[in-house]
């Protein structure tokens, strides 16, 4: 099978035609780059993805990590992948050059992460987590910690992790019980248990560096008493060697999918000899961690969109090859069957997938562009881009995760019975995808974050900025007859969003926080659909601009495909907000009023 | 873990309070039964499900069938299950007593199938297929074939199958190429290949009896040339023994889920010695097979609703036990966390699951009651019940299958990270469930069947009968204040369904069959939501009647749960038709117009 899991043309269309990433190189921080260097990076990323990650996609699933002699054994491909991706500069792709990073725009780095994830999600997670953990160190830790850990991490020699969750504290981090006791030598002794730690131990690297949340003895209760530590599996000793740091893997989880990455349970400091190194100030751990979490949430969105991309190309390939049935008007039973891509219902399933993952990818790059702008803006402009990124992060995490499940399910459906069999990769994609609404904050948590925090913060400033961005796109559509009509559709959708948002925030006053937040997940869904519609309009605008110039036959097909997918989204997906709006404006608090006892029978 | 996978109370509520199955015993055909015998059957079914099927649910998944020495080996539990279920009368539960059947109402038999499927879907499929195949024989085959095959099948000694699909003919049965050549002795020699044959071979039985579609030499092309044959794995010889009938298993598929049942590929008549026995008349095979397919489609619906039921009870159990987080209004970080069932979003996920699978089960029993009425009605009434069953079958197959996927996904979500791990059964349910939109006619095929055939047949007679049934329920709600409002909601929904249906049938004339049928899957979705809303209103009516009498505390909880779940369905699910109606009345034929080349990039 050809290794088609992403569209290079689509990535470049989004980066250059829609978001004008090349313009970023006019900013001083990115001036060492130009479109040519971006293209080289993308090509090299595609090569690594194709040659190193894709070939072991299935094998990493079939031979999941095992715990052998207290050590997690992963697929032998992990080691060369980490080494090549590290030494090739991907882990430090968007790190400043002072840390030996490539100082690439976040948007270009996001495109690279997407490519890796599409080739092999599990394989992409190892560098992804390492990059996030290292960034946390460079952002908030001492120079000493930076010098000790970051070069090894960016090099792919040491793995980074996020060690947050505990047996009694998943969605509710306030309840963590891992403790940190000052040793008197400036470091801490850590004791506790962490569960569901991705890449929490493995033999593809020389060491594992946990960015771990713990509570310092005597800290205030709740989230205000959480501190962040660097806690390595092996700690550097005075002679430049590495000694065991008293962390034991107590189990490797057996999972539905995403099997190429070990998810482990850790016992920390059983012998009282686990050294942890405080990052930044005490009790500010959660604030620091949010930086990594937000980056990780964009990463989850990229991973979800990427798996949907790979599933789509598998389904597309099959739909083109598989003959079955005839057109509804065909009467002759002896006429040869047509490839199933000729059937309207199959085209609908393909358009749906494309609408979802290309729409999602567009939003993820949009968020990355906001990150780039925040990073390079003059001081007064910075908050604007930060706020836009803030309000869109829960959507960029959840929309691809939730809708990606449906997209991969439709890809599987295109294969009929074969989709359910292990002979094709879609059944794996179906399993791999299901993790995304769970990790890095469940969909429910994202809904609470959006409605309970982001929409209302700074008196709705982020929300207003978002509506201004969308309005700008609508204005840009006015001169084009087709797109003007779509612009009006989006305008109506935004008006409905406004109406729903006002209704909900009103219910906060009238009925209190429980009723206000009860349908936050539906609100997230609504907000997501409107946001993706906006992204499709941006893509349609770019496609129209391109079609107005000189294009090759294959370019024309591509741009027309964009316009049809946009039409699909506005025709089939956007109307879903009408049903959601009914519920979101309904004052009957069904779920709040439902007594848990009524689930008895 | 307690073996809770179905609610006995709910089954009895539906059978007796909603559908008054006890009244069927006033009909002569069912007069040997009464509610007491029904209850005994249900209790015995629950016992077998709990003691025999449930305990091997996980093991049958972990140790899937293997092909060893040309023979499919299945889990050792299959043999005693088939024997006990056969000898206990379940395979022949709704067969007339003249064939040694129990002559139980279809509705009671459906409840039994649901119980088996909920305990262990794979285990339930063996008797399910055998029952369907045997019914086909008693309905259309000669007395000789009946005598030879049916007693062994109803006894659970021989497995029955449906052998339809071929490498080039799945959704399009017109294209099958398996041939049947008259031998001159009254039987036929069969040659060909069949794929995706469920329970197509295994060592849990003494023989396998395929109900197989093939084309007799010189038959007309297309569906009008398809005949039905009994083709056993081993054929009875003159001395009362069994001889090999030249059918080879060429592979066992490795599947995402539903792993306890072997799905196989068969090579038939490689040595020219496969004997097949014609059922009924030549070239009428597809008409006969439709009887089995319709029964099998109800079976798929039951299987899907059953898996969702089992997943729901697993999630409910977890939600009650798992403490995490606090209510939105709680301020004290030291207050103990609440069980997650206290959170509105978790209650929403549980209500969604319940709304889906209890609503679906209600529709499936509704269909079964129609089958009972058709079977026992006086001649002039019979077509009415047959037509109602006909029009609702595609919905009874698809709604549970499609929505069941979402329901199980929400069950998994209730578990957070644990749901993704093999420690809990939900990840298996998630995999098992995914087969349902594929087998026995994909969702796309069901949509075409509903809109292209069922809605329009006999000048819309079936559709009119359906609207009359719904109208009767709405009328029954008029005297109750709460339910009258819901009745009006359903009335509006039915008016919208009418409007959409008229629009679509109009497009058949205006734009031809391809555009008319392009969104048949969405129409199926719309029709399904309205149908389930109707079923929830029927349940709410029954719950209200019960609450008006004397009820125990636990009964009160149960009936109130029904009312809340109905409120959930009308508040959260029914509004979805608004978005669908927008698309279904939109004349832009996006998917038809989309040129397959535009998928290129």
Q: Which of A254, A329, A447 sits opposite B514 (nearest CB)?
A: A329
**Pairwise CB contact (< 8 Å): B579 & A579:** yes
Partner B contacted by A413 (CB < 8 A): yes
Mean local confidence (pLDDT), B184-195: 97
Q: Count interface pairs A-B at CB distance under 8 A.
A: 309
Mean local confidence (pLDDT), A399-421: 98
- Alpha carbon separation from B14 to A329, A600, B597 (Å, rounded): 43, 16, 51
Q: Which of B316, B579, B598 sits opposite A557 (nearest CB)?
A: B598
Per-residue burial over B405-437, b = 16 or more CB atoms within 10 Å of its CB, e = otherwise:
bbbbbbbbbbbbbbbbbeebbbbbbbbbbbbbb
Mean local confidence (pLDDT), B502-524: 96
pLDDT at A351 over 60: yes
Structure tokens at B434: 């995914």
pLDDT over 70 for what percent of chain B?
100
pLDDT at B33 over 80: yes
pLDDT at A95 over 70: yes
**How close A239 gets to chain B, by Cα (Å)?**
41
Distance CA(B539)–CA(B453), nearest Å, equals 29
| Residue A447, domain member (yes or no) | yes
| Residue B543, domain member (yes or no) | yes
Quick one: which H or E segment has residue B357? helix B344-376
**Pairwise CB contact (< 8 Å): B564 & A409:** no
The tens digit of pLDDT for each residue in B393-423 reads 999 999 999 999 999 999 999 999 999 999 9
Average pLDDT score, chain A: 96
Quick one: which H or E segment has residue B243? strand B242-244
**How close A561 gets to chain B, by Cα (Å)?**
4
Partner A contacted by B142 (CB < 8 A): no
Per-residue pLDDT at B157: 98
Domain assignment of residue B548, given as a range: 442-593
Partner A contacted by B182 (CB < 8 A): no
Quick one: which H or E segment has residue B61? helix B57-62
pLDDT at A1 over 50: no
Distance CA(B71)–CA(A533), nearest Å, equals 54
| Residue A505, domain member (yes or no) | yes
**Pairwise CB contact (< 8 Å): A434 & B412:** yes
Mean local confidence (pLDDT), A234-248: 95
Q: Which residues of B are catalytic?
A: 440
pTM to 2 decimals? Answer: 0.98
Selected residues 26-85 of chain A with any CB under 8 Å from a CB in chain B: none
- The more confident residue out of A227 and B600 is A227
Per-residue pLDDT at A329: 87
Count of structural domains within chain B: 1
Residue from A440, A469, A491, A573 carrying the catalytic annotation: A440
Q: Predicted confidence band at B601 (pLDDT cuts at 50, 70, 90)?
A: confident
- The more confident residue out of A481 and B268 is B268
Token pair 């999972």: residue: A255
Quick one: which H or E segment has residue A161? strand A158-163
Per-residue pLDDT at B2: 55
pLDDT at B520 over 80: yes
A513 neighbourhood in chain B, CB within 8 Å: 328-329
Token pair 């209890």: residue: B358
Selected residues 325-344 of chain A with any CB under 8 Å from a CB in chain B: 325-329, 333-334, 337, 339, 341-344
Selected residues 258-287 of chain B with any CB under 8 Å from a CB in chain A: 258, 263
Q: Predicted confidence band at A230 (pLDDT cuts at 50, 70, 90)?
A: very high
| Residue A514, domain member (yes or no) | yes
Instruction: Let me know: does A411 contact A59? Beta carbons within 8 Å.
Output: no
Q: Which of B416, B579, B601 sits opposite A171 (nearest CB)?
A: B416
Per-residue pLDDT at B256: 98
Per-residue pLDDT at B539: 98
* Measured CA angle at B536 (ends B531, B538), to 5 deg: 95
| Residue A203, domain member (yes or no) | no
| Residue A281, domain member (yes or no) | no
Partner A contacted by B14 (CB < 8 A): no
B512 neighbourhood in chain A, CB within 8 Å: 328-329
Token pair 């009723």: residue: A515
Distance CA(B260)–CA(B57), nearest Å, equals 8
pLDDT at A2 over 60: no
Per-residue pLDDT at B192: 98
The tens digit of pLDDT for each residue in A50-60 reads 999 999 999 99
Instruction: Let me know: does B297 contact B291? Beta carbons within 8 Å.
Output: no
Partner B contacted by A558 (CB < 8 A): yes
Partner B contacted by A10 (CB < 8 A): yes
The tens digit of pLDDT for each residue in A359-394 reads 999 999 999 999 999 999 988 999 999 999 999 999
The tens digit of pLDDT for each residue in B523-579 reads 999 999 999 999 999 999 999 999 999 999 999 999 999 999 999 999 999 999 999
Residues whose CB is less than 8 angstroms from the CB of residue A351 and which lie 6 or more positions away in sequence, other chains included: A564, A565, A568, A572, B590, B591, B594
**Pairwise CB contact (< 8 Å): B591 & A351:** yes
pLDDT at B600 over 70: yes
| Residue B453, domain member (yes or no) | yes
Note the ipTM here: 0.97
Phi and psi at B19, nearest 5°, equal -110, 0
Mean local confidence (pLDDT), A199-227: 96
| Residue B547, domain member (yes or no) | yes
């Amino acid at each position: 099978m050809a290794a088609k899991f992403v569209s290079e043309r689509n990535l470049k269309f989004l980066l250059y035609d829609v978001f004008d990433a090349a313009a970023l190189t006019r900013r001083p921080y990115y001036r060492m780059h130009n479109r040519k260097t971006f293209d080289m990076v993308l090509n090299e990323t595609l090569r690594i993805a194709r040659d190193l990650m894709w070939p072991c996609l299935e094998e990493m699933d079939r031979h999941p990590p095992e715990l052998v002699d207290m050590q997690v054994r992963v697929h032998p491909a992990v080691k060369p992948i980490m080494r090549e991706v590290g030494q090739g500069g991907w882990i430090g792709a968007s790190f400043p050059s002072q840390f030996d990073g490539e100082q690439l725009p976040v948007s270009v780095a996001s495109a690279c992460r997407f490519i890796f994830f599409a080739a092999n999600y599990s394989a992409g997670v190892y560098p992804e987590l390492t990059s996030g953990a290292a960034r946390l160190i460079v952002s908030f830790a001492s120079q000493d910690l930076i010098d000790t850990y970051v070069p090894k991490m960016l090099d792919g020699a040491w793995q980074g992790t996020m060690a947050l969750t505990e047996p009694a504290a998943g969605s509710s981090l306030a309840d963590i019980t891992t403790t940190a006791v000052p040793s008197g030598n400036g470091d801490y002794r850590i004791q506790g248990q962490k569960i569901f730690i991705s890449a929490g131990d493995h033999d593809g690297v020389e060491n594992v560096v946990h960015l771990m949340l713990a509570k310092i003895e005597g800290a205030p209760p709740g989230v205000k008493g959480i501190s962040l530590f660097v806690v390595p599996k092996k700690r550097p000793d005075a002679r430049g060697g590495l000694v065991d740091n008293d962390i034991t893997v107590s189990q490797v989880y057996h999972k539905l999918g995403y099997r190429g990455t070990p998810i482990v349970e850790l016992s920390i400091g059983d012998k009282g000899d686990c050294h942890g190194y405080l990052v930044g100030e005490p009790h500010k751990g959660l604030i620091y961690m949010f930086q990594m979490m937000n980056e990780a949430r964009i990463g989850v969105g990229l991973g979800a969109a990427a798996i949907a991309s790979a599933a789509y190309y598998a389904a597309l390939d099959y739909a083109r090859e598989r003959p079955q049935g005839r057109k509804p008007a065909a009467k002759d039973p002896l006429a040869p069957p047509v490839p199933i891509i000729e059937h309207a219902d199959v085209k609908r399933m393909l358009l749906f997938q494309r609408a979802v993952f290309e729409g999602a990818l567009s939003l993820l790059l949009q968020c990355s562009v906001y990150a780039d702008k925040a990073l390079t803006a003059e001081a007064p402009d910075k908050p604007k881009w930060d706020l836009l990124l803030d309000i869109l992060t829960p959507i960029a995490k959840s929309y691809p995760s939730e809708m990606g499940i449906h997209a991969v399910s439709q890809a599987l459906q295109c294969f009929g019975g074969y989709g359910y069999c292990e002979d094709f990769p879609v059944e794996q994609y179906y399993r791999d995808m299901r993790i995304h609404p769970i990790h890095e904050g469940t969909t429910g948590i994202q809904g609470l974050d959006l409605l309970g925090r982001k929409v209302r913060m700074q008196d709705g400033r982020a929300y207003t900025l978002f509506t201004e961005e969308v309005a700008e796109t609508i204005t840009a559509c006015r001169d084009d007859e087709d797109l003007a009509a779509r612009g009006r559709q989006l305008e109506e959708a935004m008006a409905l969003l406004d109406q729903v948002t006002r209704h909900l925030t009103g219910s906060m006053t009238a009925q209190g926080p429980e009723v206000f937040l009860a349908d936050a997940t539906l609100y997230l869904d609504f907000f997501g659909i409107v946001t993706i519609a906006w992204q499709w309009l941006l893509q349609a605008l770019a496609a129209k601009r391109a079609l107005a110039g000189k294009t090759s036959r294959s370019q024309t097909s591509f741009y027309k495909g964009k316009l049809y997918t946009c039409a699909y989204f506005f025709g089939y997906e956007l109307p879903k907000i009408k049903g959601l709006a009914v519920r979101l404006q309904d004052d009957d608090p069904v779920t709040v009023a439902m007594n848990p006892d009524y689930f008895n029978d």
